[in-house]
Structure 1
């Protein structure tokens, strides 16, 4: 006897009519995943607009989940519009590609995030876009380099690795006076140390664009890659947004969920990183092995007065990142052995996560201009996590005792 094969109602499974009741509320927003988005009618499809977030048209153009994170990031940084991109570097690249064309020039601080400089030296140069590096600690040097072809100036506070804190308001003034857009890599400030769009706190002066590696403090877990681009000018935002659309940039819903979950605690975590970092930076100042501590909140550090004016008098925040320069008497092998000998600090790039990180740098190869304000020796950067500061200090002590003995 041949058994009759029963075909399940697959169509019924796919088109099941059940719709959950509305009104569900919980601490975390829902996670919406979609490429295809349904339209109620052809007429609606033709009328729906994604550019102003008034409707949904395709997953790449936004979902309730991405819109929610974008609006919260606007609140964090004091902006009006936000775009999400796959990484902090993608944020820098998207801004450049949206605003620059053949024959234009971009100015970049000499102590900027290395991959931003590599982008200028690679892709932008191939596209016929020139660049210059300026001394961020000398506003006159910026003014001298601004010219008729300058379309964008990048700012960074503090500088990457060497941690110099520039006179950010004055640099912005110089750009505004020449009608040149200025974009800030605001990953260190995170929207907490100072307000990028209201530097003087009176509504008179701010950057045009804030690019932020959400990979760092907003994520906080060392497990998400994402970036954001925040603006206050609707026309500028639309120009970047159209480029963002044409490049096909999108972020995963689960990554957005992770950042949304971490964001409510970002201020608490930022302050905790900051407090531990300052304690350890001050400790390093007492160590014979150290010739210079680079932390903008410490008196005597390059740009400390500028940090004090922008942050110290208001938020007194300075993130969890600092560098030390170990005396030139130590060989590179000794410095490497010191880093290898740390037990709690892990060797790795990035920062802002719960685990403390260490990384030695060959600073001379990273700078085009004079670094005479820095001591000679090998620079080591520390990203302080959420471990006990006392245990981190003990870890530094034990490895220094083994590998950084006085020669």
Structure 2
């Protein structure tokens, strides 16, 4: 006779097969049970043909990976704990001592600081290039260049680069490109096919597309996760080996949250876009504002590249930045941000709550490249899902306090 604890652990009951519902089940595991030793030895963790260990995938993570691959127009996808983890996994997989990586001058800040610290310690050099000038990138590509990062639009300053041209230059030389497509969310454009409306062919697309699922795919401001999407099988397997050796894993409940949010992603993205454009156009008319930076607005840096890639009726994320007239000091802009009631102060974006953050741009851009020429203080806005009229009233009262 067995004890109750043993009966509870090794209970023979199995639920009947065939249960189906709108949302996939949530499977959480470290240990995976094998029916016998032969199965343990034969099972392949590199492809989605079976299960070996929790870090290598569950039915829940496989389901999200397949859906993100479809979203991005890819064949393969890996999930990682954050968008920055996706960047790190790509760097660690493709770069060795003596190699060089090129970053756009307006890249996501932690991508740059990773290159300046850990990569540098491991003998990997880096350069920053002007993403709005393909000739500058071309001059910097050299025999040690193994990876070029692309980003659209630029972090905080929102310049939209000629992506197809940049990717084409790298492909001509056999250099791998990785695109941070968090802003586009797999909706505004396809990172693997960048030839639309351009003289470059669809083969001008990136080799790797990463995304911070933390942002729009999650949509709630409560999940940290990233993805790495590819079309090439060999490149995917190389990244997956690095993914395995680093020990990257994601929690089943976090995966469930993203799966649940994906169905509404196109609707939410459209709502963020419409509200942001409305507010951005209104801010263009305000006397306190020197310039509004939004790729879909004429006059914004790279607007023509956004239009060529995304189309005249194309989509854009709910982000924009405002350059205040240079008569306003950083302290005054900080006070403006503090005066906002609905726009909360906080990093990240893509959730239901609107956010604002002021930035010290001169400290973030290369003096050598001179990609940042404005003298006024900049604040970045992330438009949430509040009513646009309420957000406009909030901006109006804060601007009135600014004077």
Aligned-residue offset at 1:199: 1.5
User: Could you tell me which of 78, 87, 91 is aligned with 2:82?
Assistant: 87
Show the counterpart of 1:221. Answer: 220
Note the alpha carbon deviations across 1:249-284, whole angstroms, 9 max, x for none.
100000000000001111110010000000000011
Q: 1:343 and 1:134 mapped to 2: Cα distance?
A: 38
User: In the alignment, what sits opposite 2:390?
Assistant: 391
Paired residues for 1:373-384 under 5 Å: 374-384=373-383
| Residue 76, structure 1, aligned to residue 71, structure 2 | yes
Q: Which runs of 5+ in 2 are unaligned?
A: none
- Is the 1:292–1:375 Cα contact (8 Å) retained in structure 2? no
In structure 2, relative to structure 1, the CA distance for the partners of 1:270 and 1:374 (3 Å cut) is: farther
Which is higher, the Rg of structure 1 or of structure 2?
A: 1
How big is the shift at 1:8?
5.6
Secondary structure of residue in 2 paired with 1:204: helix
Q: Is 1:125–2:123 an aligned residue pair? A: no
The count of residues paired between Structure 1 and Structure 2 equals: 398
Distance in 2 between the 1:161 and 1:333 partners?
Answer: 19
The aligned residue for residue 366 of structure 2 is 368
When normalised by structure 1's length, the TM-score is 0.96
Which ranges of structure 1 fall in alignment gaps of 5 or more residues? 1-6
Distance in 2, Cα, partners of 1:371 & 1:163: 16
Q: Which has the higher mean CA deviation after the structures are superposed, 330-339 or 101-110?
A: 330-339
Q: Where do 1:6-17 residues align within 5 Å? A: 9-17=4-12
1:286 maps to 285
Say what the alpha-carbon RMSD is for the aligned residues.
Answer: 1.3
Q: SS where residue 182 of structure 1 aligns?
A: strand
Give the aligned partner of residue 4 of structure 1: none
The change in CA–CA distance for 1:133 and 1:156 in structure 2 (over 3 A counts) is: same
Report the counterpart of residue 188 of structure 2 in structure 1.
Answer: 193
Counterpart CA distance in 2 for 1:374 and 1:163 is 14
Aligned to 1:249: 248
Q: CA deviation at 1:200?
A: 2.0
2 CA distance for matches of 1:38 and 1:372?
Answer: 55
Matches within 5 A, 1:163-312: 163-200=158-195, 203-312=202-311
Shift of 1:50: 1.0
Distance 1:372 1:112 in 2: 12
Any conservation in 1 of the 2:30–2:53 contact (CA below 8 Å)?
Answer: yes
Cα contact 2:83–2:225 (8 A) shared by 1: yes
Q: CA deviation at 1:373?
A: 6.2
Name the structure 2 match of 1:42.
37
Distance in 1 (CA, whole Å) between partners of 2:106 and 2:5 is 60
Q: TM-score, length-normalised on structure 2? A: 0.97
| Contact 2:341 2:394 (C-alpha < 8 Å) held by counterparts | yes
Report the equivalent of 2:15. Answer: 20
d(CA) in 1 for partners of 2:362 and 2:206? Answer: 30
Residues 225-263 of structure 1, C-alpha deviations (whole Å, 9 max, x = no match): 000000000000111100110001100000000000001
